[in-house]
A and B are shown apart, each in its own frame.
Chain A
Amino acid sequence: MGARVDVTPAAAALIRSLRERHGPLMFHQSGGCCDGSAPMCYLEGEFRTGASDILLEELRIDGVDEPVSFWMSAAQFETWKHTHLTVDVVPGRGSGFSLEAPEGVRFLIRSRLLSAPPHSGSD
């Protein structure tokens, strides 16, 4: 169980399937506007992270050899750091350039306070 970020079984299954089809993956949590406030899934290295980003977690997914990195901009992390994040997946349409959108689904973040008990059914 990740200290800061976990994935639901449904999200893990989608990550496995995207990994098989596309290659190693990464997430970058987006900020505001239309498709925003959502975790964007890219090929590892597609999105160039830098000093303005924080690596929140190296997600370990069953059936995926390498860890999947989960990033967020450092400024945004300041307002998110008191919460634990769970990557879930819901039926959906678009999400920027995120890899899952053409599958008719979309990654979604569910949150809980770090001091609170786990989100039911999410961990």
Chain B
Amino acid sequence: MSTETVHSGFRPDMSVVARANRIGLWLFLVSETFLFGAFLSARYFSSGTLKPDELNQGFALALTIILLLSSISAYLAETAMRYNHRRKFIFFMSLTIGMGLLFLVGVGVEISEAIHLYPPETQYGTSYFMLIGLHAFHVVTGLTALGIVLFLGIKGHFSSDDYWGVEGVVKYWHFVDLAWVIIYPTLYLF
């Protein structure tokens, strides 16, 4: 019996696979929400809405704008692949990674100032460094995944019929943005 005969009966329905992938990703994102929720609760539990006067709200706004723009660019990259625009996909995905890196550099600058202004052993500093660190870790993992997807896209992978890899990674990136939409006011505005 040839291998072909053995496997000929199994043909996975790709729409079912895609749906299962999506539900799996959403379950993962829900679990991540609980993680961020725990850290956010810790901030309000330990110090309420107390915040130091030295906070650089303008710089945090600039970081927020960069991350929002990167999310929009990621959406455009995903849309481009959904409609088979490979060149636009490469452009927007590169732009997303560039802005993600810029955000990360900004966070680095912010941390280097914050370590002197509100050190980790202070009440606000504890929450600040926990939340910023957790989020920055997600930015790094998101950027790594975006980089892999960009590399595969350049190599000719993905099309409008099969772009789950792009969709999954971009959804994760949007989640990173969504987390910041809540972390930003929690640390800088409330």
Q: Do A and B bind each other?
A: no
Chain A interface (Cβ within 8 Å of chain B)? none
Chain B interface (Cβ within 8 Å of chain A)? none
